[in-house]
């Protein structure tokens, strides 16, 4: 039984690291195309994405060095102090927001949005069959949604927000990939269990 559990754990971590390495490889390819080196290159309504530690973060450029993006944040649920809320969302605020499923669509500077990462512009345009809306309509959609909003890590996140604004359809490719990985792990776990059961049956029959 112990060896079976160890096998399952090894399988899970193997799949996790394969997924992580695949993600890093994909990001490296993205950086060579659509990479933004200056705010001056950005146009109002552009879809921005920036790599974070374990995921991609997305926003819509509004012009004048401002980006609208959906951020998990616990503070608006605890305080009405606009000065406090408008400060850059800390990791603690973000994590608590994820746990409480509380978020807001807020406006930050490009620098605060990027958080030291490399910005990639309109990369999703090649992933959608439908053409993006005109940039001004994209920006106006984002501006209309500013404020408090429900949040779900998988079903209502920053990627759903930007794809709705730019393409008219809320989609998260990150969620789709995550679900594919989970399904594969479950299938592989079943294979391990079936193999273990067959091995046990053969052993008992000898």
Q: For the chain, what are the domain ranges?
A: 30-171
As annotated, the active-site residues are 158
| Tokens found for residue 43 | 């146009």
pLDDT of residue 69: 98
pLDDT of residue 12: 44
What parts of the chain have a pLDDT lower than 70?
A: 1-34, 36-37, 188-206
Sign of the dihedral defined by the CA atoms of residues 51, 52, 53, 54, in that order: negative
Cα–Cα distance for residue pair 47/123, rounded to 1 Å:
8
pLDDT of residue 205: 45
Residues contacting residue 173 through CB under 8 Å, at least 6 positions apart = 124, 127, 159
- How far does CA 95 lie from the centroid of its chain? 14
**Residue (of 60, 39, 38) closest to 49 by Cα position:** 60
- Read off the pTM: 0.73
Would you state the CATH architecture of domain 30-171? Alpha-Beta Complex (3.90)
């Amino acid at each position: 039984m112990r060896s079976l559990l160890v096998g399952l754990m090894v399988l899970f971590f193997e799949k996790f690291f394969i997924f992580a390495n695949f993600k890093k490889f994909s990001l490296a390819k993205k950086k060579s195309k659509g990479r933004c080196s200056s705010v001056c290159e950005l146009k109002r309504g552009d879809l921005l994405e920036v790599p974070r530690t374990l995921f991609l973060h997305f926003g819509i450029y509004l012009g004048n060095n401002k980006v609208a993006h959906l951020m998990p944040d616990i503070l608006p649920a605890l305080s009405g102090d606009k000065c406090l809320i408008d400060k850059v969302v800390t990791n603690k605020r973000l994590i608590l927001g994820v746990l409480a499923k509380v978020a807001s669509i807020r406006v930050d500077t490009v620098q605060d949005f990027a958080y030291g990462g490399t910005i990639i512009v309109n990369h999703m345009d090649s992933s959608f069959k439908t053409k993006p809306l005109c940039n001004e309509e994209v920006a106006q959609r984002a501006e209309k949604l500013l404020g408090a909003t429900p949040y779900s890590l998988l079903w209502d996140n920053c990627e759903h927000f930007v794809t709705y604004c730019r393409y008219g359809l809320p989609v998260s490719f990150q969620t789709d990939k995550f679900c594919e990985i989970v399904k594969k792990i479950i299938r592989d776990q079943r294979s391990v269990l079936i193999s273990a059961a067959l091995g046990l049956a053969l052993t008992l029959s000898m």
